[in-house]
Structure 1
């Protein structure tokens, strides 16, 4: 399709060492090297992740102070309020902590703010709502690390505060709290772990269980929730996150909670196995939908529910909200592509878009879809009166936080990660943000975009895709951030048969041959872009491997080069 293919180069000495010590075919040794795994020891850990990788994380900054305060609060019968974020990571983190604390006390409440009323995090408005519930102690999860104003309100009224947050702290100062448990060194801002909010909550309750002498390890009860948050929050699926995702998915398939069962049922996946892709594309969007179009309460109730019939009612409600969310996204995208001024913005290297009364709950998804399409950083802002709230999605090679920090005086508030961020900005500053972002980073984005080809992990023949190949491919799972599904290339393939299938004939299916080997290949959504393949007989293919319901392999074609 015209993309430049780059075959990753690897250190041959490292490659041979992995081949010899791990007994791997060179194709899979290459894949490990491409994921930054250079030693046999790290290779064994990657292929067989262990929950032992969570050990040592109980020594994260602030953990000792937080554990001691929770012990005091539980012993003295304090009213404890868990304050979480409204996305999947925040909701699952909240559910983990609430479920565990209720093992010890009935005085446990939970508060999830509305995206549309209080906004993200422990804002002053949210802190006032919390005070109305008269807690003695507030524990934030997946938020709080930058919420100085809200923390000040709580402290002013004598409320104790513990912050559990995996987001990047502000370089200048931290909120006033009794304890801040962070995945960063608060002094240097260097990352100590890439845990999600739910992963950090899991580590915390495990440490608290040990601290309190609780007889059971909470891992078995909460790995599925931690896995949901970890996969949905798109943190790197390496090290401890890889273990959480691998064993959390195993728990979902072995002994799914009533919440997972209900979500799978309404998503049409009842009885099917759950993998990271199912979490990303079927479970997470439904949980997120509540906070995107209404209040996240129904999603939290589902995650705290132990009765299947009630869980099914919650899941059906989320399904309806997800349909509304999809309609809101489509309306915004339609407006963007029909407005001349907005079409002009799409030509920028850093795309900044805004619209009147756009649903702020779906802006991140719209930004993500545009970023994938145009291969550029995208910020989408919903304007309500004089203020706009926006979400950004990035590209590899440039941190969104770097862009936002360079334009910090223009914002009322901002935060997030390298690839996903949020902001609040006066309406009048949006054009200045667009101009400054492009002036400072436009050329860098252009260089990244022009240099970005299709990065292929390894060249293989169809004969290589055998039982041993599939066994090792399974060991690479779960796929996700920093561990994508491997991209292979195969050369000089004959297209023997081809036909359209799926709704509206939108997908293309091929029977291909290379020497004596035959294989099936699919181009999903290929109706518009793959017509030239119908006229071709010899091609090179870039593809991912997948298996069908019968566990037979097929090629998910990502790109091709016409030879004849």
Structure 2
């Protein structure tokens, strides 16, 4: 059971509200996010493209631009090597469009998840060399590829790394590294995704070539914002601006591939949000790299023929539907393994599903983490041993902790909240034991804390409040939706809906006597109904929203949790 804690941070909310033209309630919500300086509040509410830092400040960008200009002038062959997820595909597309517009002789390659594994490898380097490629530009990968980059350099190739992942002890011997995580990089915002870094490189290159700035925003910014959400980056600072601007573009874009993807998923342009990127559109891009080849997703972005784009988009949607079904099966196998073994006592869960498609490991790990609120690794059998992905919790820095037993791996990398790893099959049990032996998580650390922004009776909910809350969007990691709470709530009516019987319509009455409609989603509906029938009054966590149906707008509460 999660622990509910109300955030109580003081400030002169009335004064902040008056200064920025918002209610004191919204001012309090912003303070709860630890945004306190006037400049920070202004950027959070009204920040735009003019608030982005100049790309040239990022370490490596100026020398990278100089090399690229020289290679373009010489007519040298340049190859972009990306990665197979949404960030890798969008990064590749941004660099391809950016270098093509600059007059480069350029092509792309994306590793096959099963055959090649993550990022650049020696086969990809050899393939480029044999094709007469002079210069390799990586995106969303490369910072951990010490041997692979050394191999490329031994062949006389020029290598530019653009990446956003954490640096390991040894930096690859590339000609230039562009990564804001470099210790002496003065770029103030460190949390850009790979596509964000690629977009910065193109913006600096285009600035030198005097390409109109408008092209950068209209043609490429959409994909930097799209990847930021899809790669689950923090929606703070520059990321928040990129996503806000990308969502504006998404409503009106005529890009054939993105337009086709929106159409086949039957999404309304008017209401499109970060949610749709993260849970509908983005997974279709990811599905191609998971179950087939990410080159199919790249082809969707590259095509200029809308009819062809519709066919490609429909194929990606079908792949994603298949991926969902396979994921559900994998989650059930993982639950069975945990519940029927002593693994239930582990503080770090290491689940070995040898026959699971390796591309689904990260998704399954995320679902299991949600269920048990523990760090989770899901490992699968691969061509050369075992490969897997991890998803963590706030109190466990996954990359840091797994680095303590790196002698068990053939390859690894990641962030505090997520990681990837490869190892020999005989090391799986050692890996599980070592992580748990080294683990210092306490029961308190393993209890999820749900932070309540404001305890607020239903009588405060209005259309005006919902409209003002939209100022806080886009929501996502690092900028979650506000959480409101009401106690002493009576459940007056319940109605189960949906093809899978996982939607619950509610009529609720709180202590103030105000009645509101609510909606709750759950895969354990029998348990939910039983609890609600047994307790005469409950406490609810909620978020107010507008429900639009057949032209009618009504207020409703999106129920987040109850007890």
TM over 0.5: yes
Please name the residue that 1:559 is paired with.
561
Please name the residue that 1:469 is paired with.
465
Alignment counterpart, residue 441 of structure 2, candidates 426, 439, 444: 444
Alignment counterpart, residue 116 of structure 2, candidates 115, 118, 129: 118
Asked if 1:198 is matched to 2:195, the reply is yes
Alignment counterpart, residue 32 of structure 2, candidates 31, 34, 59: 34
CA displacement, residues 331-360 of structure 1 (integer Å, 9 cap, x when unaligned): 323333444797432441100011324311
Please name the residue that 1:546 is paired with.
545
Helix, strand or coil for the counterpart of 2:36? Answer: coil
Helix, strand or coil for the counterpart of 1:529? Answer: helix
Check the 8 A contact 1:90/1:141 in 2, yes or no. Answer: yes
Give the direction of change, closer, same or farther, for the CA distance of 1:370–1:476 in structure 2 (3 Å limit). Answer: same
Helix, strand or coil for the counterpart of 1:553? Answer: strand
Q: 2-side partners of 1:335 and 1:476: how far apart?
A: 39
Helix, strand or coil for the counterpart of 1:68? Answer: helix
Please name the residue that 2:357 is paired with.
359
Asked if 1:402 is matched to 2:400, the reply is yes
Alignment counterpart, residue 210 of structure 2, candidates 207, 213, 225: 213
Q: Name whichever of 229-238 and 39-48 sits farther off.
A: 39-48
Helix, strand or coil for the counterpart of 1:448? Answer: coil
Please name the residue that 1:153 is paired with.
151
Check the 8 A contact 2:518/2:557 in 1, yes or no. Answer: yes
CA displacement, residues 305-349 of structure 1 (integer Å, 9 cap, x when unaligned): 221111111111112221332233233233334447974324411
Helix, strand or coil for the counterpart of 1:204? Answer: helix
Q: Name whichever of 24-33 and 118-127 sits farther off.
A: 24-33
CA displacement, residues 252-291 of structure 1 (integer Å, 9 cap, x when unaligned): 0022422122112222325553201011110111110111
Give the direction of change, closer, same or farther, for the CA distance of 1:129–1:445 in structure 2 (3 Å limit). Answer: farther
Alignment counterpart, residue 526 of structure 2, candidates 509, 525, 528: 528
Give the direction of change, closer, same or farther, for the CA distance of 1:235–1:191 in structure 2 (3 Å limit). Answer: farther
1:473-512 aligned at under 5 Å gives the runs 473-512=469-508
Q: Name whichever of 283-292 and 336-345 sits farther off.
A: 336-345
Helix, strand or coil for the counterpart of 1:438? Answer: helix
Check the 8 A contact 2:504/2:520 in 1, yes or no. Answer: yes
Helix, strand or coil for the counterpart of 1:530? Answer: helix
Check the 8 A contact 1:60/1:181 in 2, yes or no. Answer: yes
Please name the residue that 1:228 is paired with.
226
Check the 8 A contact 2:59/2:186 in 1, yes or no. Answer: no
1:106-505 aligned at under 5 Å gives the runs 107-170=105-168, 172-186=169-183, 192-217=189-214, 218-269=216-267, 273-339=271-337, 343-384=341-382, 387-441=385-439, 443-444=440-441, 446-450=443-447, 452-505=448-501
Please name the residue that 2:6 is paired with.
7
Please name the residue that 1:82 is paired with.
80
Q: 1-side partners of 2:413 and 2:107: how far apart?
A: 27
After TM superposition, give the deviation of residue 415 of structure 1 in Å. Answer: 0.5
Q: 2-side partners of 1:188 and 1:40: how far apart?
A: 26
TM-score by length of 1: 0.93
Check the 8 A contact 1:492/1:538 in 2, yes or no. Answer: yes
Please name the residue that 1:92 is paired with.
90
Q: Name whichever of 328-337 and 136-145 sits farther off.
A: 328-337
CA displacement, residues 440-477 of structure 1 (integer Å, 9 cap, x when unaligned): 11x41533123x33210111122222233122210100
After TM superposition, give the deviation of residue 368 of structure 1 in Å. Answer: 0.7
Q: 2-side partners of 1:95 and 1:25: how far apart?
A: 42
Helix, strand or coil for the counterpart of 1:158? Answer: coil
Check the 8 A contact 1:349/1:446 in 2, yes or no. Answer: no
CA displacement, residues 38-59 of structure 1 (integer Å, 9 cap, x when unaligned): 1222111101121123223321
Helix, strand or coil for the counterpart of 2:557? Answer: strand
Check the 8 A contact 1:185/1:191 in 2, yes or no. Answer: no
Helix, strand or coil for the counterpart of 2:368? Answer: helix
Q: 2-side partners of 1:34 and 1:84: how far apart?
A: 38
Q: 1-side partners of 2:266 and 2:161: how far apart?
A: 38
After TM superposition, give the deviation of residue 4 of structure 1 in Å. Answer: 3.1
Q: 2-side partners of 1:485 and 1:545: how far apart?
A: 10
Q: 2-side partners of 1:120 and 1:445: how far apart?
A: 33
Check the 8 A contact 1:6/1:456 in 2, yes or no. Answer: yes
Please name the residue that 2:42 is paired with.
44
Q: 2-side partners of 1:385 and 1:300: how far apart?
A: 25
Helix, strand or coil for the counterpart of 2:420? Answer: strand
Count of residues in Structure 1 that have an aligned counterpart in Structure 2: 556
Q: 2-side partners of 1:332 and 1:499: how far apart?
A: 30
CA displacement, residues 466-503 of structure 1 (integer Å, 9 cap, x when unaligned): 23312221010000111011111123334333322222
Q: 2-side partners of 1:347 and 1:547: how far apart?
A: 43
Q: Name whichever of 419-428 and 511-520 sits farther off.
A: 511-520
- Structure 2: tracts of 5 or more residues without a match: none
Give the direction of change, closer, same or farther, for the CA distance of 1:551–1:342 in structure 2 (3 Å limit). Answer: same
What value does the CA root-mean-square deviation take over the aligned residues? 2.2
Q: 1-side partners of 2:434 and 2:188: how far apart?
A: 28
Give the direction of change, closer, same or farther, for the CA distance of 1:340–1:101 in structure 2 (3 Å limit). Answer: closer
Q: 2-side partners of 1:271 and 1:180: how far apart?
A: 38
Q: 2-side partners of 1:357 and 1:248: how far apart?
A: 38
Q: 1-side partners of 2:111 and 2:457: how far apart?
A: 53
After TM superposition, give the deviation of residue 3 of structure 1 in Å. Answer: 4.0
Q: Name whichever of 44-53 and 245-254 sits farther off.
A: 44-53
Q: 2-side partners of 1:157 and 1:77: how far apart?
A: 19
After TM superposition, give the deviation of residue 189 of structure 1 in Å. Answer: 11
Q: 2-side partners of 1:462 and 1:15: how far apart?
A: 21
CA displacement, residues 163-205 of structure 1 (integer Å, 9 cap, x when unaligned): 11111111x3211111111111345999842101111111111
